[in-house]
Amino acid sequence: MALQVSRTDLLTTEIRKSGQQHALVMLDGELDISTVAPLYEKFAELAREGINHVALNLAELEFMDSTGLSVIIAEHKRTTSMDGELIIFSPSARVRKLFEVAGMDRYLNIRPLREEAS
Partner 1 sequence: MPRLNLTPLLRSTLSQKPESVPAALESIGRDLGVADVIVYLVDFGQKYLEPLGDYSTHGELPHSEEVATTMAGRAFISQEPVTAERPTGVRLWVPICEGSDRTGVLALTLPDGDPDATAACAELGILAGYIIATNARVSDIFNLHRRRKSMTLAASMQWDLLPPLDFASPQVSTAGLLEPAYEVGGDCFDYAMNWPVFNVAIMDSMGHGLNSAVMSGLALGCYRHERRHGRALGGMHEELDAVIESRYGGRGFVTGQLAQLNVETGHLQWTNAGHPLPLHIRGGQVIGDLACRPTVPWGIGRKTVEPTVADVALEPGDGVLFYTDGVTDGRARTGTPFGLDRLIDLVGQMASDQLGPQEIVRLIVRRVLEHHSERLSDDATLFLVKWTGSE
Which residues are near partner 1 by CB under 8 A?
A: 32-34, 65-67, 69-70, 73-74, 77, 81, 101-104, 106-107
Q: What is the CA radius of gyration of the chain?
A: 13
Residue 14 vs 63, nearer CB to partner 1: 63
* C-alpha span between 3 and 68 (Å, rounded): 23
Q: Minimum distance from CB of 87 to partner 1 (Å)? A: 17
- Which helix H or strand E contains 56, and what residues bound it? strand 53-64
As measured in angstroms, the least distance from the Cβ of 33 to partner 1 is: 6
Q: How far is the CB of 98 from partner 1 (least distance, A)?
A: 8
Q: Which residues pair with 3 in a beta bridge?
A: 16
